[in-house]
Structure 1
């Protein structure tokens, strides 16, 4: 009777381990009732933890009440934090406030309706030689036209047109959205190290210059209504936003990055745990190792003879660690030892933590590509719901 041993990856603790082990067990035993599925939970005893409970995390100023509005500097940081992920964020925020937006309802001969004026102003902005020169000077020449097209064709821009908000209030946010979209595109396209991305003063000067270069009606740095909307949105978030976000990041990193750092410092105890679990099972044993678990098992099986074992790595960076000469049991450039077991490596192209093994280890390993149909990082944990992955695991069980 074949035994399957699941070795989990980085950042996993008991609840998620039990859930994943149950999922794997059900998916395999539904097809092969004779299989026995076991788990090696090394994270409980050998995983990372914050021994001082996060005392090293800087705490934000707690003197301001939770409901107090953000100070201007903090408000600007919060707005740009959102804009770097979603260039349309501020424009969407303004459409939510249309019911209370200031409107110019008086009659003015020869004046365009507000929405049409906004569209025409943006066309002039996109066609302006001065505007293009400013984008060129910021290193965003290649992103300027596409950013303008995205903003102008967006649904939210159309809503602003139809909403009739005063253009002087909306215009600074429209300019910021265009700049943010160009910056996002430059980052995504691996543009050179640009000051507009990392130098706040440079970015603010760039955006202010864009606003000053437009028509007189739209020269306000930030309209009162727009400022009020942003301030209201962040009022209950401003005091604790940075602390919560940094604390959540530290909690996550202490598990994910922390486990990797601990393994690099001294992985002997982790590898012994895996070896003990394998030795406790009657051969043949198929070891299914996910993520960091795959690195552990490559290190272990390259240095320890464990008869009757087959290895299946899933979403692992073990081949990359070999290339970086970061493995304990196998130096970069060295081949797999003669006694190394049969090895199948499963990866998803979208999983940034998964690497192929055959190009560096040759025919000693078989790579199997699967498509979990999800973006990173969700695809890294979705292998167990993939039919091709399940079939490959079953095929590795004698």
Structure 2
């Protein structure tokens, strides 16, 4: 799976860069197949805005949307269950609008038309979810959450955007479980949101395609009361997803000479000019390599790397904590997403020898660590670094 994942990612990077620069030649350097303390600067490499690295404030619309989709991609019915009013809230008029069509049979018939629509099926096919669309619709249609909405007093127009999002989320969840190749709709937030909006418009109804009104208030209240559990779940996700990454790092720390030599061979075999793009642990390897070997004739772009943190921890092989970058070190750009717990900023510890570029993939961790290649600003930054 590691080689398959590498090849898929390399293909995505190559196609996105060559779409803008057909003259570029993109080479892979897959070293994984063969080779498979105190902070020096007091945490200066950690990209925080408020002094505390957290999952984000539920009151911030951007973070609220990220948290909602994080839950949806794990549990597609989450929002539908949350929006089904209790008897008490319905009697108080929480989501009920007198004079408007209730959910009930109208919601069921509308969803059946949605599931049977050739136009909607074609839209799902266009984003690589053709094989998951029908199963996702069946899952929602027979779910208890959908049934509760049918018998509630909530207006169909209010819950329809959530029904569309749930269908998309269930199809995405199934694709990820089936180890489908990396899909843009899963990793590109803007693309996903545009797809959801297109689906809503395809129903020929002028319904909102964003979270709004009483629904937004209910969701915001939910996350405000559960921020601690949300952070705990993210910590668990971090631990689970980091197992392979941690193994690579430990192996590299034990004896990284063979890996550095392999990377050096790959770079030296290329005809200049060369731009090295190093993701995650690759950034640490390249910092070690170029800090000792020196390659001022190449450019380095690190993406989602903890190399600055390793420098702070005095855990690098080629550069001690407190030491500046050597004179022969390449021109360096460091790309990071603040939600990526494996990404750190470099300028606060290395000064003007490196330029940090923050991108926002719109994805929660750990998905954001793999979503860089689907982000427009990341691609533009990499292209700008190519001669």
- TM-score (norm. length: structure 1): 0.48
Query: For the pair shown, which has the larger CA radius of gyration, 1 or 2?
Result: 1
- TM-score (norm. length: structure 2): 0.50
